[in-house]
Chain A
């Protein structure tokens, strides 16, 4: 039996996308497999690891727990909206400098979480960074360099803002 599809219009990384999706399609699958935005990763599909985090209307959200149809009319940003290889976003630059990644699988979700933090709190304390980032799992780094990277990104972004 064919499942009825729903129309969807959503802004993804600054572009409006119209699509027809089954109501059960997860946002993570929609982004990865329908739009080809494979930077968003899937580590658990049950809301724990945070690898699938995307920005949904300015707040981070687990795309593996969100149905694509729920984001009709919303604004989504994924890791692909940050910098490019030639012009990295300060967060990406900071993760690179501080060796905040090894396999890189958790990294897109980490970057999105860090972005959310720094957008609302440009000068976080170390405790605030740990608190915010503890919703994302990484199995490679032991987190210390990730925390360092977020702190360093805050500095870089402050410098950019000032100058």
Chain B
């Protein structure tokens, strides 16, 4: 099998891009904002249930140890304590957490052994959080220390007690794969240059300002849990929490609340809701558990990737032909979602470049750290950094301008749709146009003179250019890279919507994924308004819990706007069909004689019409005015489930992975920086970000994503890193020590530009854009710093490069 065998399915799009819209493409103010601005948005810690108790957890002070004995008696005796649970208790009532398997088992409270600092060892339920925390201090735990695996090298070499999960058959190797996509050896043999680099990407995470939390209750009569949670994807993986609680999915109702940011960290936060539900069942009353910041840093569900690369690119006649990538990933102590990182990487591993073959050798190693999960980019941001560093290195070694080298290697726009060596498809794009626009905006041609003049004054200015991909709309076949023969061959990634016109004629939209800082109401409001001709500010939104949930995977992998638009198109089509039928009867004419225009049903001749309100009144109240057929059943409610618009099966022999992440955004980020070589600090003077996200639904909110994501990318490049020492101690677990950027660290103006190449496969031609900024900023910023320090012969192969690390690099540089 080869990628030549992939048959691109025909487009299922119903509505193509239009020249102009009434609502789509307008910078409409967000519908979500008024409650948030007035302090009336309901977040998880705002949920209060009658007779609710509060939980706090005891965290392991050791990175790796056997739990010999836990004495909870003093804690239990404290006035105000309701109950204390340990791993032993949990093992009696629960199954392992979602994502456990292959002998790697995780529970919401550690059973028998702790595997990272901060892992939950016991939980206390008490009348108040204050009392619960008092009680933690009364719990006595005897540990037997085990060898600490603080690095991937130690993980690979470990034996005996250094093996984190003795039941896992490959020791501390969580996962390993070796893929050759295309003619790698031949391409390298034929190359006239081979450029090689060793690169390092540091561990960070989403760090939303709101941590994860849950409020749970259990009704023993109905043997049913109700869990308020700021975890998302509950309509996709909620059954995973139910399984841990040993109940059928329908015995767990997950109720969404507003989430105060996620960026991946709440994408499927499962430990907190599972623990809270477990505690509620044990306590016999509702329980609230909200992580504090330190809980969240030490033991969230989702630390970002931590990876080293040994990679090389083959070049022939100035064109890149092949890449070899060897990567070792420091997974942390458990596997869960961490595996998703590499499927993401493989969806765009060759970047925007016309590269014919790829080798991908991956070793994922278990270490005594918190486990990995998602962080904005979900591993694809790391491969963007890798390929961009390699491209910059190649241009430098060939003695060529980095932009010129890119221009020659970008996939030309005539080549779309384009299948890359891994099998994934890039649907559309115009990469030269994006690059040209970005360079124009920053004034690239004038920069070298400015740089030279500054250097004469002893100032080190640099410019970086990153041209990178933003894959969007994942298909779950992505995970098939992990196994030849998947035990659970998941291939569904739907999104759903319900739309009701209520008795008063108001449009009510029922979403099946939560608000977590994105703009679901605004974006859906604009699309619904476009299709139904109603005022978007008049639409009412509800969020379905799992009891009423339709299939949905929520906002992840920059999929939501594309997928929910597809669902809304399907739903409004059904709704308009029914209303048109009713309008025809009401006006005494045939359906074919009725047009729907700007929210009015009107006869061809134009002399009779019905409004949505009039039809709603009749639909709910006057059944006998209509024919006796199910087409006219009372009410006006429709639902639509939209499945992935373009995906194909992976090859059986995994010679390719099929089409799994095809709606391909693109961006060019160009920062200008100044480096203070005495202190190692970096100031970003100017910043341009040009994106192609296809048809833009709302430029205001899209701009917010670009800027916010860029800020996070700048954080990853310059400021943020979770530090574990040689004993596995987490040495910077606070906002004072783990420094996310403040307003000070931001460039004064991130200038945004758009190029719109609509996707041929999605409604209106929309592409995903939610992760954009963070996927572009790290390679761009590092390239700019390197450019600034070129006179000193500095080469940068890692992030983050905080001031002290940059000083070190400068000291060891050839010219420093």
A contact set with B: CB distance below 8 Å: 1-2, 22, 24-25, 29, 32, 37-49, 51, 78-80, 82-85, 88, 92, 95-97, 99, 101-108, 111, 126, 130-131, 133-147
User: For chain B residues 18-35, which have a beta carbon within 8 Å of chain A?
Assistant: 29-30, 32-35
- CB of A130 within 8 A of CB of B744, answer yes
Residues of chain B contacted by A38 (CB below 8 angstroms): 39, 42-43, 45-46
Residues of chain B contacted by A105 (CB below 8 angstroms): 43, 208-210, 260-261, 517
Residues of chain B contacted by A133 (CB below 8 angstroms): 743
- CB of B34 within 8 A of CB of A88, answer yes
* 8 A-B residue pairs with CB within 8 Å: A22-B130, A46-B735, A46-B736, A111-B37, A134-B743, A134-B744, A141-B708, A146-B743
- B293, B700, B704, B710: which contacts A43 (Cβ < 8 A)? B293
CA distance A5 to B701 in the complex (A): 48
Whether, in the assembled complex, B259 has its beta carbon less than 8 Å from a beta carbon of chain A, the answer is yes
- CB of A104 within 8 A of CB of B735, answer no
Whether, in the assembled complex, B536 has its beta carbon less than 8 Å from a beta carbon of chain A, the answer is no
Find the B residue at minimum CB distance from A94.
B37
Q: A101-B33, A103-B258 are in contact. Are A49 and B735 (CB under 8 A)?
A: yes
User: Could you say which of A103, A133, A146 has the most chain B C-beta atoms within 10 Å of its C-beta?
Assistant: A103
Q: A39-B39, A83-B38 are in contact. Are A102 and B518 (CB under 8 A)?
A: yes
- B32, B37, B261, B748: which contacts A88 (Cβ < 8 A)? B37
Q: How far is the CB of B754 from chain A (nearest CB, A)?
A: 16
- A79, A97, A135, A142: which contacts B38 (Cβ < 8 A)? A79
CA distance A106 to B39 in the complex (A): 10
In addition to A41-B43, A47-B736, A139-B712, 9 A-B residue pairs with Cβ atoms within 8 Å of each other are A38-B42, A48-B734, A104-B32, A105-B43, A130-B744, A137-B209, A139-B209, A141-B707, A142-B709
Q: How far is the CB of A48 from chain B (nearest CB, A)?
A: 4
- CB of A103 within 8 A of CB of B209, answer yes
- CB of B743 within 8 A of CB of A99, answer no
User: For chain B residues 739-763, which have a beta carbon within 8 Å of chain A?
Assistant: 740-744, 746, 748-750
- B34, B259, B704: which contacts A145 (Cβ < 8 A)? B704
Residues of chain B contacted by A24 (CB below 8 angstroms): 130
- A29, A46, A108: which contacts B293 (Cβ < 8 A)? A46
Whether, in the assembled complex, B292 has its beta carbon less than 8 Å from a beta carbon of chain A, the answer is yes
Residues of chain B contacted by A47 (CB below 8 angstroms): 736
CA distance A92 to B740 in the complex (A): 25
Whether, in the assembled complex, B601 has its beta carbon less than 8 Å from a beta carbon of chain A, the answer is no
Q: A41-B43, A78-B39 are in contact. Are A137 and B740 (CB under 8 A)?
A: yes
CA distance A135 to B37 in the complex (A): 19
5 smallest beta-carbon distances between A and B, as pairs: A39-B39, A104-B36, A105-B260, A103-B517, A142-B711
- A45, A130, A138: which contacts B292 (Cβ < 8 A)? A45
User: For chain B residues 258-275, which have a beta carbon within 8 Å of chain A?
Assistant: 258-261, 263
Q: A51-B209, A130-B743, A134-B742 are in contact. Are A39 and B38 (CB under 8 A)?
A: yes
Q: A42-B45, A106-B209, A134-B742 are in contact. Are A85 and B33 (CB under 8 A)?
A: no
- CB of A96 within 8 A of CB of B33, answer yes
Q: How far is the CB of B769 from chain A (nearest CB, A)?
A: 13
CA distance A83 to B39 in the complex (A): 10
- CB of A85 within 8 A of CB of B45, answer no
CA distance A2 to B130 in the complex (A): 12
- CB of A102 within 8 A of CB of B708, answer yes
Residues of chain A contacted by B37 (CB below 8 angstroms): 83, 88, 92, 95-96, 101, 104, 107, 111
Whether, in the assembled complex, B6 has its beta carbon less than 8 Å from a beta carbon of chain A, the answer is no
User: For chain B residues 690-730, which have a beta carbon within 8 Å of chain A?
Assistant: 700-701, 703-704, 707-712
Q: How far is the CB of A70 from chain B (nearest CB, A)?
A: 17
